[in-house]
A = this chain, B = another copy of it.
Amino acid sequence: MVFKVTVSSARRATRTLWLLALVSLPVCISVCRASSPQEDSAMENIVTEKKAEESHRQDSADLLIFILLLTLTILTIWLFKHRRFRFLHETGLAMIYGLIVGVILRYGIIHVPLDGGNITLNCQFNASPATLLVNVSGKFYEYTLKGEISGNDMKDNEMLRKVTFDPEVFFNILLPPIIFHAGYSLKRRHFFRNMGSILAYAFLGTVISCFIIGLLMYGCVTLMKQVGQLNGDFFFTDCLFFGAIVSATDPVTVLAIFNELQVDVDLYALLFGESVLNDAVAVVLSSSIVAYQPEGDNSHTFEVMAMLKSFGIFLGVFSGSFALGVATGIVTALVTKFTKLRDFQLLETALFFLMSWSTFLLAEACGFTGVVAVLFCGITQAHYTYNNLSPESQDRTKQLFELLNFLAENFIFSYMGLTLFTFQNHVFNPMFIVGAFVALFIGRAANIYPLSFLLNLGRRNKIRSNFQHMMMFAGLRGAMTFALSIRDTATYARQMMFSTTLLVVFFTVWICGGGTTQMLSCQRIRVGVDSDQDNSMSVGEGSERRSTKQESAWLFRIWYNFDHNYLKPILTHSGPPLTATLPPCCGPLARFLTSPQAFENECQLKDDDSDLILRDGDINLTYGDITVSTDASGAHTSGGPAFAGAATSDDLDRELAYGDHELVMRGTRLVLPMDDSEPPFTEPHHRMRM
């Protein structure tokens, strides 16, 4: 087989990766510089060096476009916030600016044709290796594979190729800080209180949504094939993949408004928790679908073994990433607990940052998913390490990740806007697009409504129908969906998915995001609930007790007991001394692990998470009452699948009274009302189940 190696100019040196152009591109410069002192080829080298420098400059200029775009976005957002315009969120705005720049780049005056001077080499080899070694009269030059270039690309606008950058940048640079921030800023109290529901929405819901959308899209694609609208292959696995990537919701716009308007905290927790976790599920799900490789010739038949293998991959990768994330979080917590790093805030912050980053690397190095690991690392850090940090470092780490999140998010959204016009291989198929929107709607509905119904059977604090509608409405798609869809745009099917996904993101961010305030008032969801502020609460004894009852969800109580009695004391300075909670045989270990503060604080313990129960009482109660009045028939339902093994209402009342009594004795071993069949000491295995 005869090969052609085409040698083009230095201009092409730098297509992808120009977000970090400053890293990758000067390679050429340095390389050329490195070779320039050789007298024999000095002139050529100088020419190459100049071209490479030119290219470096060009890349700096390109990156500058984005920086200015972000700056402009910031200034406009400020204006919007200043004037209290709520219909357009910063991400929506970033997209608009991105679109404008995209249009300018595409149809504007800047149209740099590719220069000629390509040289063709004939070589005997039949693949595209990741690296080429070129032997130039004894000197070896290393070339790395940058990517495939379609025939169109070569004729096409150089500028557009320049601003199209490596899709993996999203996954490996921009998403991790966003996801970590999400985990780190999870409203812990409400998250844990609604843990069961959140997990159900995130895991079951995402899988349901993925398969429903996949099936519907397969129907749509089959129809398109018959109508003759389809110009390429589109297999069922592609449909499922599409289902997986568009199942990752990202209601950042909605949540920003929720935050501003102080919407009900439980709704916030449900939405935020679901969106954070379903990102993780969607990532692992999509990679499992890609990994579906039946043996035999036709790789698109159904095969049980391959499917089981995919399922195994899903479980393995997810639990592996989860374990890694939690593990580094715990290590960080232990390090910050047992050193006095808190005296040196800079060191503390740096350590925190490095450890969190190392989770990502560790997961990637082990073949797990870094993004997922980072999410659980963030949650663990927020739950344990955060308490060990000095107040300055708490602020610093929060602010640092807030900033990184802000920059990364706006960068992604402005790039989304840009790429609508600069991406070279868009496939817009009206039928597919309509089908996708319908499928998305049905998929979301099939996630929210049935699950809410089932959950309500077990929940005391029901998810009301207006909350359900709001969750349905808030199923925006954002950064994760985009990053997953742009990761692979090689085939016709994937290109069509990518183009459709872009439209989905635009539509949901602008329309659903912009209509949030209208939707809130239309659904009569209370705003201005100033319940997130701990200090604004005055809890009476009665409401406290009743509220404890409200949230005595089965999963939550198990977790809370275990966390309060064992994990908190081991990993932080708070909680009761381990000597009091561990069985006596572990005495020396318990003494070693318990921090001196825990003994000191035994009487005046400051444990953030007992607020979880004591302080939130009044709000929760408020909602509890409303719930009762709304659908009174189910208000006192105990039992049901999600509440299996719980005591009757009366028993619980008694137990709760007992529980309250124990809660008053802060600093000693806490036993929340547990199911009788489950003694507290067998709890450790629940950690696995969580």
Q: Which residues of A contact B (CB under 8 A)?
A: 1, 3-17, 19-20, 22-24, 26-38, 41-42, 44, 48, 51-53, 55-58, 60-61, 63-64, 67-68, 70-71, 74-75, 77-78, 81-82, 118-151, 153-154, 166-169, 171-173, 299, 335, 339-341, 343-344, 346-347, 349-351, 353-355, 357-358, 360-362, 364-367, 370, 395-396, 399-400, 402-403, 406-407, 487-491, 494
Contacts and interface: CB of A to CB of B under 8 A. Distances in A.
A33 B490 contact: yes
A127 B44 contact: yes
B26 A171 contact: yes
A22 B81 CA distance: 35
A67 B370 CA distance: 15
Given A23-B168, A33-B487, A3 B134 contact: yes
A569 to B, nearest CB: 23
Contacts of A144: 13-14, 24, 27-28, 143-144, 146
Contacts of A7: 125, 127, 129, 131-133
A350 B133 contact: no
Number of copies of this protein chain within its complex: 2
B365 A3 contact: no
Contact of A20 (B24, B55, B60): B24
List the 5 closest A-B pairs by CB distance, nearest first.
A121-B123, A26-B168, A22-B172, A34-B490, A6-B133
A130 B10 contact: yes
A17 B8 contact: no
Contacts of A12: 130-131, 133, 142
A6 B400 contact: no
Given A1-B137, A19-B23, A61 B358 contact: no
A3 B26 CA distance: 25
Given A20-B173, A56-B364, A143-B146, 19 more contacts: A6-B140, A8-B131, A13-B145, A27-B146, A27-B147, A36-B490, A48-B127, A48-B128, A57-B367, A64-B358, A119-B124, A121-B124, A126-B137, A127-B136, A140-B149, A142-B146, A142-B147, A144-B146, A396-B399
A53 to B, nearest CB: 8
Nearest to A393: B399
A35 B145 CA distance: 12
